[in-house]
Structure 1
Amino acid sequence: MPKISSKGQHMPASPIRKLTPFADKAKLDGKKVYHLNIGQPDIATPEGMLNAVKHIDFNVWAYTPSEGTLSYRKKLVSYYNKLGYNISPENIIVTVGGSEAITIAMMACLDPGDEVIIPEPFYANYNGFACESDIVVKPILSYIDNGFALPPISEFEKLITDKTKAIIICNPNNPTGYLYSADELNALKELALKYDLYLFSDEAYREFCYDGREFISPMHLDGIDEHVIVMDTVSKRYSACGARLGCMITKNKAVIAAGLKFAQARLSPGMVEQIAGEAAVDTPDSYFEAVNKEYTHRRDILVSALNKMDGVFCPNPGGAFYVVAKLPIDNADKFCQWMLESFSHNNQTVMMAPATGFYSTAGAGANEVRMAYVLNAADLQNAMTCLEEALKIYPGRTESITANAEAV
């Protein structure tokens, strides 16, 4: 019998989706499952985007240019230049989701065996994309105790070798929600210039910044144009995850030329998606203001509830719509599976993502989970009640419950 490839064997499973069979079984058993495991917003997609799809009128569903239609790229330019990116359509390659933007960027910039430094915990699929491209991930730990702030630049320098070619950041961060500051971005700029590195910036959550805090992109920094590669997507910004529409942006002409060859090899991004994407750019600011207010409210519910639970700690994130929380548990993977297989409260349970899958360092995140606050306020409150009750009886709890200790 033929064997699968070594790459197939080593490709990591998604921590976000791997417990789905257990969630499906829980539902078949009649339990209500609160899905906090995946960043699938319940916010309505902008009406203009949906109407653009409903009113499509063409006779041939044709290929589009490999780099994306000029009309869509021009619309994207208007969006990004409003943010101060100062780009032209020639700086953009439209991709099939943000995932393809990341893989094309990796393949265009990095050779097999090259190393990329990524602060962890990080978006789990970076590990998968690196596996696909034979790239070596060099993780650098950030810590929950200081809210997952950027590690000191001295720690980055300890990892740099002649194989180091890039740094990858996600800002605001998935899974932690951490929002990088101007000082942190400028420190990374100086590091990239000093060692002649690419700086990849995953900006899927750009619109989700809270408490009046400012989003800063490497595209805003002077003197680093040739180093910066931005990866973006409409998935989160417009609550349009199923559109599978993203883009890679850079002012580095050599990277665009190389990336276009990979884009040509996969033929083209979808026509319908780009029509919807054009309409999305005209979404009024009021839409984002309402969404931001709603997510801030949800974040406050989740973080407050978590930090009131005995033995639990959760930093207050500055962006995105995720938290990573430290729980009094022995093993996050076991706990998340136990929640679906063996626990219910009022016939309800919670699906979370074990944080272990967002680390590359072995053993890291063993008592941490990622939760996405993409449910309405009432469901979030019910989910937190379930979690609190579960922690009281979980067999692998690692800390005594304060109330019980006081009773003794």
Structure 2
Amino acid sequence: MPKVSIKGQQMPESPIRKLVPFSEAAKQKGLKVYHLNIGQPDIKTPEAALNAVKNNIPEILEYSHSAGFESYREKLADYYQKQNVQVDSADIIITTGGSEALLFAMGSTMDAGDEIIIPEPFYANYNGFSVASGINVVPVISTIENGFALPPIADFEKLITPKTKAILICNPGNPTGYLYTEEEIQQLAELVKEHDLFLIADEVYREFTYDGDEHYSVMNVSGIEEHAIMIDSVSKRYSMCGARIGCIVSKNKAVMSAAMKFAQARLSPPTLAQIASEAALDTPQEYFDEVIKEYKDRRDTLIKGLSEIEGVKVATPKGAFYCIAKLPVDDADKFAQWLLESFEFNGETVMVAPAAGFYSSPNVGTTEIRIAYVLKKEDLIQSITILKEGIKQYNNK
């Protein structure tokens, strides 16, 4: 019998989606499941994006340019320039989601066996992308005790070897919601210059910042133009996860030339989704003002509720719409499955993402979960009540 590849065997399961069969089984039993596990916003997609598709269906769904529509890239460059990110359309390649942009970035900067340093916990698919690219993740641990702030630069430096090619950050962070300060970004910039590394920044949550804090992009840093690579996406910004449109941005011409070869190999990003994404750039600021206000209210509700559960420790996120909570349970994986398989509270339960899958270090984060506060306030309050009762019953069973 033919065997599955070693790479296929090594591909990690998604901590966000691996419990789906248990969720489906719970629903078949008649339970209502509150989904705190996945960052699927319930905010409406902008009308401009939806209408663009409704009103501009072409007679032939043709390939686009491998780099994406030129009109979209030019309009996207204008959007970034308004945020003091000085790029032009030649510095942008449109991708099939931020996921493909990350794969292009890894493929264009690293070879099999090379190493990438990532502060953990990190977006779980970074593990999968790294396995698919044949590169090794070297984690540097941030902790809930200091809100998942950037680890000391000395911790990065002692991990750098001749195989190290890049540092990858998510800003604001998924799964932590941490927002890196300008000082922290500058520290990383100095580090990659000193050691001649790439600095890859996943900035798909750049609009989602709270408490007056502002996002500071790696593309804002002068002097690291040849080092900086930005990853972006429309998924969260415009509540367009299903569009699967993202981009890779860099002023390093060699990197973008290599990324273009990967783009040509997959032919082109989806046509209708590009039409919607280009139109979404006309979304008025009022849309974002309302969205940020809503998410801040949800964040405050969630953090307050979690903090009132005995034994729970939670770091207050400064951006994105996730938080990590440390629970008073023996194993978050077992607990998350138990919530779906063996527990109910008045016919309802919750689905969370065990946080161990957001680390690459073994036996770390085993009592932590990631919560996405993408549900309306009333549902979050009910979810907290269910989670509190679930913890109580789990520890008494």
Same-fold call, TM > 0.5? Answer: yes
Q: Distance in 2 between the 1:252 and 1:348 partners?
A: 51
Structure 2 stretches lacking a partner, 5+ long: none
Residue of structure 2 in register with 1:65 after alignment? 65
Structure 1 stretches lacking a partner, 5+ long: 398-408
Q: What does residue range 4-19 of structure 1 map to in structure 2 within 5 Å?
A: 4-19=4-19
Question: What's the TM-score, normalizing by structure 1?
Answer: 0.97
Residue of structure 1 in register with 2:362 after alignment? 362
Residue of structure 1 in register with 2:108 after alignment? 108
One-letter amino acid matched to 1:49: A
Which secondary structure does the structure 2 equivalent of 1:168 belong to? strand
Higher mean Cα deviation, 48-57 or 238-247?
48-57
Residue of structure 2 in register with 1:243 after alignment? 243
Q: Distance in 1 between the 2:180 and 2:395 partners?
A: 38
Residue of structure 1 in register with 2:176 after alignment? 176
Residue of structure 1 in register with 2:323 after alignment? 323
Distance 1:37 1:396, change over 3 A: farther
Residues 176-202 of structure 1, C-alpha deviations (whole Å, 9 max, x = no match): 000000110000000000000000000
Residue of structure 2 in register with 1:186 after alignment? 186
Q: Distance in 2 between the 1:275 and 1:58 partners?
A: 10
Q: Distance in 2 between the 1:7 and 1:290 partners?
A: 44
Residue of structure 1 in register with 2:141 after alignment? 141
Contact persistence 1:331–1:396 (CA under 8 A):
no
Provide the alpha-carbon RMSD of the alignment: 0.8
Distance 1:183 1:310, change over 3 A: same
Contact persistence 1:115–1:138 (CA under 8 A):
yes
Residue of structure 2 in register with 1:351 after alignment? 351
Which secondary structure does the structure 2 equivalent of 1:159 belong to? coil
Q: What does residue range 51-130 of structure 1 map to in structure 2 within 5 Å?
A: 51-130=51-130
Residues 48-89 of structure 1, C-alpha deviations (whole Å, 9 max, x = no match): 011101111421110000011101101101111111111111
Query: How many residues align structurally?
Result: 397
Residues 89-131 of structure 1, C-alpha deviations (whole Å, 9 max, x = no match): 1000000000000000100111111100000000000000000
Residue of structure 1 in register with 2:332 after alignment? 332
- Asked if 1:260 corresponds to 2:250, the answer is no
Residue of structure 1 in register with 2:21 after alignment? 21
Q: Distance in 2 between the 1:32 and 1:258 partners?
A: 48
Question: What's the TM-score, normalizing by structure 2?
Answer: 0.99
One-letter amino acid matched to 1:328: P
1:396 Cα offset (Å): 7.6
One-letter amino acid matched to 2:382: N
The runs of at least 4 aligned residues of structure 1 exceeding 6 Å deviation read none
1:273 Cα offset (Å): 0.9
Residue of structure 2 in register with 1:342 after alignment? 342
Residue of structure 1 in register with 2:150 after alignment? 150
- Asked if 1:30 corresponds to 2:27, the answer is no
Contact persistence 1:75–1:278 (CA under 8 A):
yes
Q: Distance in 1 between the 2:289 and 2:323 partners?
A: 21
